[in-house]
Amino acid sequence: MKTLMTLLLLLTVIGTLSAERIVLFFDDFENGSGNWTFVNGAAVNKWHIGNATSFEGSNALYISNDNGVSNAYNVNSYSFVHAYTDILLPRHAGDIRVNFSFKGMGEYGFDVFDVYIVPEDFIPEASNGWETQYISSSYLIGEYICEQPEWTTYTLDGHEWIYTHEDTTYRFLFVWKNDNSIGVQPPAAIDNVEVSYVPRIANPPRNLTATADSYTINLTWDEPLPGSTETFVDYSIYRDGLYYDMWITTTSYTDIVDENRVYSYYVVANYEISMFNSIPSEPSNTVYISPNIPLIFNPPQNLIGNANGNVVTLSWEEPESGSSGDFVGYMVYKDEEPLIEESISELYFIDTVTENGTYIYKVLAIYENGESEPATVEVTVSDVSETDDNAIGFRTILHSNYPNPFNPETTISFSVAVESHVSIVIFNIRGQKARTLVNSNHSAGNHSVVWNGKDENGQDVGSGIYFYQMQTNDYVTTRKMVLMK
Ligand SMILES: [Ca+2]
Ligand SMILES: [Ca+2]
């Protein structure tokens, strides 16, 4: 019983390894010339399908000098004639075999029957002399067949050249040539042309799965089922439908990705079919997976707030680099209420308050895909004058410039309580006037002016400490700033 089981098992294993030979093409010429194209030109000796001779049945393909009545040729008439048929060699077609029965006589070395396999775009020409019969990209599978008086069967097995050309259509080409003197009858005749193959079994990888961990995608799969007819070599990885990595000999693979999107993968097993050639299996299942790359939205840095009278000046620095997506701007909040409708790109904001108190300011960096945590600063205002208690009042004041230090320009903000003539003059550290920035009437309210670091003559001033003095008919204040180039 045990022996029987072993035998059955053995038979099962053998059964999976031997695929049946498949006939791809067969023609016994009993049903006309539908499969064949003749290129006979004006030759007297032509390819013909008829019943002058045959290996089996009554018909064959042969050379005839009388339109098929006889299988004979005119030895004094030059011929270079062709008959061909196109055959698709399918993917994973192994052990290609070409069979045909033939006979033929001729003048050795001069009257010749050749068989070629050529690309399907090769078009033979009857007018070509055999001196120019070289056919590029061709494979000569039989030549100088001219001393075969009896029907015999030709078999070409294991066609190495075709290994890397599967899934391609080939032109099977019979060529008969004679010079125009001397010959032995009869010329070439062919019957029972057959092309067959044994399907290769190249089992694919199975059960591909993918897991993601931040920037990493891990693939694992199962080996192909046993039963392949060829020798497994390794795996290739395809990502997004494109060849991605090769020579993988484990059943796992790690990919590092940098985008938060869906990636697709499949794996192919490669099988060796000859010393230099291999074939891929069908693909494994395809997996789709997104990584879990964390989104980073860095906040503004070093937010500070200063109160000066009823004016609060906020300033901050750009976020650290490395945020996800494009930067859009900043939003500013006071006690959770937005102070602006749209984000701003400046690195400062000037707010006016009407009551003494402690205010919580928040500045957020806005990105195309999200916003940062807020940078927060508490600003206590204790200096709002009694007269400014009504909501629309302003106080005459010169604020600190921003940025400071600066290069090449800085903004100077100021307010006036009532319409006033205002002058703002910049002096260098030696007390010499560098520039008059403002010298005109201003309405009550907040104003600002930019100094571009140039003097009255439009020349750049040097690095160093500068003073700016604001003056109205009842107010004078001087502040310090630093130009740092
Ligand atoms: Ca036949
Ligand atoms: Ca001859």
Q: What is the DSSP string of 122-143?
A: ----TT--GGG---TT-EEEE-
Ligand nearest to the CA of 31: 1
Query: 112 C-alpha vs ligand 2 centroid, how far in Å?
Result: 9
| Whole-number Å distance between alpha carbons of 167 and 469 | 87
Query: 348 C-alpha vs ligand 2 centroid, how far in Å?
Result: 102
- Residues with Cβ within 8 Å of residue 284, at least 6 apart in sequence: 204, 205, 206, 207, 208, 221, 266, 267, 268
| Whole-number Å distance between alpha carbons of 8 and 15 | 10
Query: 178 C-alpha vs ligand 2 centroid, how far in Å?
Result: 5
Query: 51 C-alpha vs ligand 1 centroid, how far in Å?
Result: 8
Q: What is the pLDDT of residue 142?
A: 60
Sheet (strand 433-442) strand order: 433-442, 420-428, 464-472, 475-483
Query: 71 C-alpha vs ligand 1 centroid, how far in Å?
Result: 14
Q: Among candidates 332, 330, 329, 322, which has minimal Cα distance to 359? A: 332
Query: 4 C-alpha vs ligand 2 centroid, how far in Å?
Result: 65
One-character DSSP codes across 58-95: S-EEEEESSTTSSS---TTS-EEEEEEEEEEE-TTEEE
Helix (H, G, I), strand (E, B) or coil at 166: coil
Query: 101 C-alpha vs ligand 1 centroid, how far in Å?
Result: 9
Query: 76 C-alpha vs ligand 2 centroid, how far in Å?
Result: 7
Ligand nearest to the CA of 60: 1
Residue 151 sits at the vertex; the CA angle it makes with 145 and 157, to the nearest 5 degrees, is 65
| Whole-number Å distance between alpha carbons of 47 and 60 | 10
Q: Which residue has the tokens 């010429």?
A: 29
Ligand nearest to the CA of 178: 2
- Residues with Cβ within 8 Å of residue 167, at least 6 apart in sequence: 88, 89, 90, 91
| Whole-number Å distance between alpha carbons of 100 and 87 | 15
Query: 346 C-alpha vs ligand 1 centroid, how far in Å?
Result: 92
Q: What is the pLDDT of residue 396?
A: 87
* Phi, psi dihedrals of residue 184, rounded to the nearest 5°: -120, 130
Query: 191 C-alpha vs ligand 1 centroid, how far in Å?
Result: 5
Ligand nearest to the CA of 61: 1
Q: Please list the ranges in the chain whose pLDDT falls under 70.
A: 1-18, 127-145, 158-165, 385-393
DSSP 8-class letter at 392: T
Query: 57 C-alpha vs ligand 1 centroid, how far in Å?
Result: 4
Extract the runs of DSSP E, i.e. beta strands, from 120-262. 139-142, 147-157, 168-178, 189-199, 206-213, 216-222, 231-239, 242-248, 252-256
Query: 158 C-alpha vs ligand 1 centroid, how far in Å?
Result: 25
The tokens describing 214, both together, are 């931040």
Amino acid at 285: N
Query: 222 C-alpha vs ligand 2 centroid, how far in Å?
Result: 64
* Structural domains present in the chain: 17-199 (2.60.120.200), 206-289 (2.60.40.10), 295-393 (2.60.40.10), 394-485 (2.60.40.4070)
Q: Give the DSSP H/E element, type plus range, for residue 8.
A: helix 2-17
One-character DSSP codes across 260-322: SS-EEEEEEEEEE-SSS-EEE------EEE---PPP--PPPEEEEEEEETTEEEEEEEPPPS-
Ligand nearest to the CA of 50: 1
Ligand nearest to the CA of 102: 1
- Indicate left, alpha or beta for 51 from its phi (over 0: left) and psi (-120 to 50: alpha): alpha
Q: What is the pLDDT of residue 133?
A: 47
Ligand nearest to the CA of 51: 1
Helix, strand, coil percent values for the chain (each to nearest 5): 5, 50, 45
Q: What is the pLDDT of residue 364?
A: 97
Query: 98 C-alpha vs ligand 2 centroid, how far in Å?
Result: 28
Ligand nearest to the CA of 187: 2
Q: What is the pLDDT of residue 138?
A: 58
Query: 122 C-alpha vs ligand 1 centroid, how far in Å?
Result: 27
Q: What is the pLDDT of residue 395?
A: 81
Ligand nearest to the CA of 55: 1
* CA torsion angle 117 123 127 128 (round to 10): -50
Query: 63 C-alpha vs ligand 2 centroid, how far in Å?
Result: 14
Tens digits of residue pLDDT in 73-90:
999 999 989 999 999 988
Q: What is the pLDDT of residue 8?
A: 45
